[in-house]
Amino acid sequence: MNLAIVDPFLRRMRIRFPVEYVDFSPLYPEHTLLYPRDRSCFLLVTMAQHKQKGHRLVWFFYEPSSGRFYRWTYPQSRYSDGSYWYVQDVIDDLKNISEWDDYRFLSSSRTLDYQNFWTEYVLKKQNGRYAWLEAID
């Protein structure tokens, strides 16, 4: 997934939005992807560098049926002067809306199966539009 879908997507983001996405820093050699058990979609989390504001965690949602990425807007961006190992920030974004409360989940094969997480915090719709997903055109 990283090689075929994520890396080309992040390259396009750097080209299309050169101020907002100067560079991306994965936690591990590959970018971290979080899936539900059925692997019907995934969330990508990475650290992005903004040209003026610094580094922050960014989340993207991938919908395989349409081949589209969305920016997941539920977590609030927090900027820092430099890049760092951000495992605790990932868990801080997830622990109050899912059962993920341990950074070791990120380097395991554990799937994010708390159903309320996907229905209420990722795929929730209001007036026919996603509440927490912003289309990337």
Is residue 60 within 8 Å of 70, Cβ to Cβ? yes
pLDDT score of 137: 72
Q: pLDDT tens-digit profile of 54-72?
A: 999 999 999 999 999 999 9
Bin 30: left if φ > 0, else alpha if -120 < ψ < 50, else beta.
beta
Cα 90 to Cα 136: distance, rounded to the nearest angstrom: 22
Cα 59 to Cα 56: distance, rounded to the nearest angstrom: 10
Q: pLDDT tens-digit profile of 34-54?
A: 999 999 999 999 999 999 999
Q: pLDDT tens-digit profile of 75-120?
A: 999 999 988 899 999 999 999 999 999 999 998 889 999 879 999 9
Is residue 86 within 8 Å of 72, Cβ to Cβ? no
Task: Report the amino acid identity of residue 22.
Answer: V
